[in-house]
Structures are given as structure tokens and as C-alpha cells.
């Protein structure tokens, strides 16, 4: 048994980042992780493996569709799916190994096994119970399913996102249930690998919650890449055999019933907080009706000495949100002032083109009754984007109608996931659209499209 200032439960991006910051701030720190490797959902079965597959298949798409136009002739590469998965596993291994190195470097003890909290100030791992002045729960989330849909990742036919990263072969027909970020990213991967991909979504639009302009353009661009969409459809069940599946759904508009045949089905209907086995309810820790751990503005639960962060609490289920909370709660525990600005948390979809958003949408501002203006610029007017066949898409900035202060942005186009951070920094500093417009942007870069959108909030863009 050992005694710590802080024990963090869960070594995902929330937990391991928090552990590093705690150690940097002089707190004796341990982290508990039940998986074989560190890094949580994100590094093992989330952000990182999915981006590796998106990268590999993006290159395949380029070779098949754009190389010849650039004078690069010859046979397109063929897909060795086993090798592609090995590449993905290698990327995961490098990253999880990197986190293990960081734990050692910062003298953080990794307590291996599944933790429970038998009493305030105690963390049990296996047969050992450790003392902790403070406990941070960073236990993350797990995929959800639908009634009538049984996920069996080992079977490789009806799978969740974890199973979809490991399909034994590229399915001829893939049905994706859910048009959220995870469903579309993995759907894109398989579409590029040659699967016939149909996405079935309950809402009448894709990527719920996102800017409506982006939703429409994004759907059109994905359709151009071969993805099919069935919107406004409630899946009532999936019948699976050892080799195939049938997805039954009802269209909301007329209650008509339909069936899709599939070689594999990806259930991407969302995720829920994972807090099983921790013993939180027994200690009286309060939960929201959606099963999230309830915390205050300092990530404290209602039980003194127990804090929570990341996917296990309220807010967007994103790695960088978890990381920010991890650093902030460490500051709080070290007697400093941890802070997370929840108004400036970007969201990115790593398809091609990428999609990135931050701040308020038009719909939200209309609901709030706030007056705003829009500056929009198409990537068709951006020389660099056209050179890489990515003129589709746009940058859209939203600024306050009177003060010109940036309120939000939505970008669909090349490098959107990086471009969005110029707006994030601007928003953090209370920048106006004019501040962006007056900043010299290097030519030729995609970022010029951001500047042009800022100019569009004022006297007008140059290249439109
Ligand atoms: C396919 C996919 C793609 C994604 N892509 C992105 C992306 O591109 N960008 C992005 O920002 N987000 C992405 N996400 C979401 C991101 O992975 C999560 O938001 C993030 O991992 C949450 O971090 P966390 O630290 O809260 O929890 P997690 O990463 O879920 O980590 C929690 C860890 O706690 C451990 N644990 C739980 N209970 C215990 C216990 N009792 N004892 C010991 N250990 C325990 C778990 O084993 C797990 O390793 C993706 C998710 C998926 C599934």
C-alpha cells in the first residue's frame, strides 16, 4: 500500500494529462489503468487508430482519383488490409508507449488493474488499497447501442467503433447506423477501401448540432465520394448470421418499413459515460439523468476529495476537452486556478475534406436573439486549395453585428482542423473579424480563406 496526494483513475487523455500536470506541480501522483496499455479510448481504439486508417485511405483516394491529373501515371496501389491494420497498430503502439514513457519521466506510478473507491481517500486496485488525499475519476466512456441491435465485435459482423477498426476483411456492403462524427469517419475509410457504404440516420440531417450550411455541403461531398444516406430513419433491429446482416428500419415520414443487406454493420449511435465498478453511487456521488458524474465548476463531485473529468462528466466527448479538464483539475488540486473555456472548444471531423467548428452556430444565435453577421468565403477562390483539388467547401465566420467580435466559425475544406485554431485563439483574445482581416496571411495557404471570410464580414473579400 502506498500513499499519494492524487490518484487518477483512468489513463485516457483526461487522466494521463492530469497526472503529468499534477506531477509537474509537485503532487505525488499515481494513475490506475485497467487496460494493458495507457492512452485510453483515444489512443487505443479512438482518435489515433481511426486517424491512421483515414490517412492511409486518403492516400489511396488521391492515387486513384487525382494522381493521373497531376501527370502521375501508373497502376493504383492495391490494398493489403492486413498490412494497413498493422500500420495502424504500430501508430497506436508508438503513442501508448509514449504515454508510458511520460509517466516514468514524471515519476508517476502506474497502478495496473481496475480501480474501485471503497471509501473516501481510498483506491483499491486488485488486492491492494492505496491512500489518496484526492481522487480524480477519468474513467471515460463506452459505445452505446440500440434496442434490437446486438453488437458482437468478435463476430466481425455487427460491430461498434472498436470492432470497425479491426474488421477481418473489407466488407462489400457496410451499413453505418448513425451519421455522427465517428460513423462518418469510419464510413469514409471503408468507402475509400471500396465498400458500398450506406449511412442510416434517425435525424433528417447528418452531424447533428453542426452548422446547417456545413451539414448540407458535407453530405453532398460525401455522396460524391460514394456514401449513400438514408435520413429520417429509425432502425428497429439488426438480424445477423455468421457472415451477413439485415438492417431493418422505418422511415419516419410515412412509417414504411425497409431492409438493407450488409456484410458488416457499424453501430455508431453515440457513447455513454463508463463508471461501472467504481462504487461511486455507494459513496453518494451524484449523477446527471444521462449517467454523467455531476461536478461543479472546479470538477469536484458532491463528495469531498473526489473529482471527475473527461467523457465521464457533462460536455462534448472530445479528447482535447478531457485534456483541458485534466490540466485544470490538477491546478485546482495544487491550490491554483484551473480554468476551461467551454465556449471555445473546437470540434473536428477528419474526413476529406475536413470539417471544423467552434463557438456558436447561426441557429443558436437566432435562438438567443443576438444580432450577428456572416462572412463566408469559398475555397474555390483559394489558389492553394484548387491546386490540390479541394476547392469544394468554405470558411464561414460569425461575428457580432455591432461589435464585430468573433462568435463562432465553421470550416469545411482542406486543413480545416488546423485552420480553426486561428479562430480559437482570436476568440480567446476577444478578437474582431477585422483583427483577422488585418493580419497578414502567407500566400499561398489555405489560411488565406479564413482571412477572406473575415474580410467578408467587413467591406468584402478580394477573391470572390
Ligand atoms: C473511433 C473514435 C474516434 C475518436 N476520434 C476522436 C478525435 O478525433 N478527436 C477527439 O477529440 N476525440 C475523439 N474521440 C473521442 C475521444 O476518444 C474521447 O473523448 C477521449 O478518449 C475521452 O478521454 P477520457 O480520458 O475522458 O476517457 P478515455 O479515453 O475513455 O479513457 C478512460 C480510461 O479509463 C480506464 N478505466 C475506466 N474505469 C477504470 C477503472 N475502474 N479502473 C482503471 N481504469 C479504468 C479505461 O480503461 C480507459 O482506458 C474518438 C472516439 C472514438 C471511439
- Protein residue with least CA distance to atom 26, ligand 1: 310
- Locus of grid cell 461511486: 280
**pLDDT tens string 155-187:** 999 999 999 999 999 999 999 999 999 999 999
For range 234-261, the mean pLDDT:
97
The predicted structure's pLDDT at residue 262: 98
Scored b (16 or more CB within 10 A) or e, 54-86 reads bebbbebebeeeeeeeeeeeeeeeeeeeeebbe
Residue 1: is its pLDDT beyond 90? no
Which DSSP state fits 379? G
For range 295-309, the mean pLDDT:
98
Q: Which of 41, 91, 145, 324 to mutate to test the pocket of ligand 1 (most atoms within 8 A of CB)?
A: 41
The closest alpha carbon to 312, from 6, 32, 31, 10, belongs to 10
The predicted structure's pLDDT at residue 393: 96
User: What is the spatial distance between Cα 301 and Cα 285, in angstroms, rounded to a whole number?
Assistant: 7
208 lines ligand 1 (CB under 6 A): no
Percentage of residues in the chain with pLDDT exceeding 90?
98
12 lines ligand 1 (CB under 6 A): yes
Read off φ and ψ for residue 110, nearest 5 degrees.
-95, 110
Q: Are 329 and 136 in contact (CB under 8 A)?
A: yes
Is 65 annotated to bind a ligand? Reply is no
Is 460 annotated to bind a ligand? Reply is no
Read off φ and ψ for residue 163, nearest 5 degrees.
-70, -30
Residue 141: is its pLDDT beyond 90? yes
Q: Which long-range contacts (CB under 8 A, 24 or more apart) does 296-304 make?
A: 298/329, 298/332, 298/338, 299/136, 299/325, 299/328, 299/329, 299/332, 299/338, 300/332, 301/137, 303/120, 304/120
Residue 336 preceded by cis peptide, ω within 30: no
15 lines ligand 1 (CB under 6 A): yes
Instruction: Please indicate whether residue 65 is annotated as part of the active site.
Output: no
Q: Which of 44, 47, 267, 291 to mutate to test the pocket of ligand 1 (most atoms within 8 A of CB)?
A: 47
Residue 285: is its pLDDT beyond 80? yes
User: What is the spatial distance between Cα 69 and Cα 82, in angstroms, rounded to a whole number?
Assistant: 30
What are 458's three cell numbers? Answer: 467587413
Q: Residue 137 class from Cβ within 10 Å (0-12 exposed, 13-18 middle, 19+ buried)?
A: buried
Residue 375: is its pLDDT beyond 90? yes
274 lines ligand 1 (CB under 6 A): yes
96 lines ligand 1 (CB under 6 A): no
The predicted structure's pLDDT at residue 85: 98
The predicted structure's pLDDT at residue 225: 95
Residue 353 preceded by cis peptide, ω within 30: yes
Quick one: pLDDT band at residue 76, thresholds 50, 70, 90?
confident
Mean of the per-residue pLDDT values for the chain? Answer: 97
Give all domains of the chain, ordered by start, each with its CATH number. 3-143+272-333 (3.50.50.60), 158-269 (3.50.50.60), 347-456 (3.30.390.30)
**pLDDT tens string 237-247:** 999 999 999 99
- Protein residue with least CA distance to atom 33, ligand 1: 10
**pLDDT tens string 410-456:** 999 999 999 999 999 999 999 999 999 999 999 999 999 999 999 99
The predicted structure's pLDDT at residue 2: 85
Amino acid at each position: 500500500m502506498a500513499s499519494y496526494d492524487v490518484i487518477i483513475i483512468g489513463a485516457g487523455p483526461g487522466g494521463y494529462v492530469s497526472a503529468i500536470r499534477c506531477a509537474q506541480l509537485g503532487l505525488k501522483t499515481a494513475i490506475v489503468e485497467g487496460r494493458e496499455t495507457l492512452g485510453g479510448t483515444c489512443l487505443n481504439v479512438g482518435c489515433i487508430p481511426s486517424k491512421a486508417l483515414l490517412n492511409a485511405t486518403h492516400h489511396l483516394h488521391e492515387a486513384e482519383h487525382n494522381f493521373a491529373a497531376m501527370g502521375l501515371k501508373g497502376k493504383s496501389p492495391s490494398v493489403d488490409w492486413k498490412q494497413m491494420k498493422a500500420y495502424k497498430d504500430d501508430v497506436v503502439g508508438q503513442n501508448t508507449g509514449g504515454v508510458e514513457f511520460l509517466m516514468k519521466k514524471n515519476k508517476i506510478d502506474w497502478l495496473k488493474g481496475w480501480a474501485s473507491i471503497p471509501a473516501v481517500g481510498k483506491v483499491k486496485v486488485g488486492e491492494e488499497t492505496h491512500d489518496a488525499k484526492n481522487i480524480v475519476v477519468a474513467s471515460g466512456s463506452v459505445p452505446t447501442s440500440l434496442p434490437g441491435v446486438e453488437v458482437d465485435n468478435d463476430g466481425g459482423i455487427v460491430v461498434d467503433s472498436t470492432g470497425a477498426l479491426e474488421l477481418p476483411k473489407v466488407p462489400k456492403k457496410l451499413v453505418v447506423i448513425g451519421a455522427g462524427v465517428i460513423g462518418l469517419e469510419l464510413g469514409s475509410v471503408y468507402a475509400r477501401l471500396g465498400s458500398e457504404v450506406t449511412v442510416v440516420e434517425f435525424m433528417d440531417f447528418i452531424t447533428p448540432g453542426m452548422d446547417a450550411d456545413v451539414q448540407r455541403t458535407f453530405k453532398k461531398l460525401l455522396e460524391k465520394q460514394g456514401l449513400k444516406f438514408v435520413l429520417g430513419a429509425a432502425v428497429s433491429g439488426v438480424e445477423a448470421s455468421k457472415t451477413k446482416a439485415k438492417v431493418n428500419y422505418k422511415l419516419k415520414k410515412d412509417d414504411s418499413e425497409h431492409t438493407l443487406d450488409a456484410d458488416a454493420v457499424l453501430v455508431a449511435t453515440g457513447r455513454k459515460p463508463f463508471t461501472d465498478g467504481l462504487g461511486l453511487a455507494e459513496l453518494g456521488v451524484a449523477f446527471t439523468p444521462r449517467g454523467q458524474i455531476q461536478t461543479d465548476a472546479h470538477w469536484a463531485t458532491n463528495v469531498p476529495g473526489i473529482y471527475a473529468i473527461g467523457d465521464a462528466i457533462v460536455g462534448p466527448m472530445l479528447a482535447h476537452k478531457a485534456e483541458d479538464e485534466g490540466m485544470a483539475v490538477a491546478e485546482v488540486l495544487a491550490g491554483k486556478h484551473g480554468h476551461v473555456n467551454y465556449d471555445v472548444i473546437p470540434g473536428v471531423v477528419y474526413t476529406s475534406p475536413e470539417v471544423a467548428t467552434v463557438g456558436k452556430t447561426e441557429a443558436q444565435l437566432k435562438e438567443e436573439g443576438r444580432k450577428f453577421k456572416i462572412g463566408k468565403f469559398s475555397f474555390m477562390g483559394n489558389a492553394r486549395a484548387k491546386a490540390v483539388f479541394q476547392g469544394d467547401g468554405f470558411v464561414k465566420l460569425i461575428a457580432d453585428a455591432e461589435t464585430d467580435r468573433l462568435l463562432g466559425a465553421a470550416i469545411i475544406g482542406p486543413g480545416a482542423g488546423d485552420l480553426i485554431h486561428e479562430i480559437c485563439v482570436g476568440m480567446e483574445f476577444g478578437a474582431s473579424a477585422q483583427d483577422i482581416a488585418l493580419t497578414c496571411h502567407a500566400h499561398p495557404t489555405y489560411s488565406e480563406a479564413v482571412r477572406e471570410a473575415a474580410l467578408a464580414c467587413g467591406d468584402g473579400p478580394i477573391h470572390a
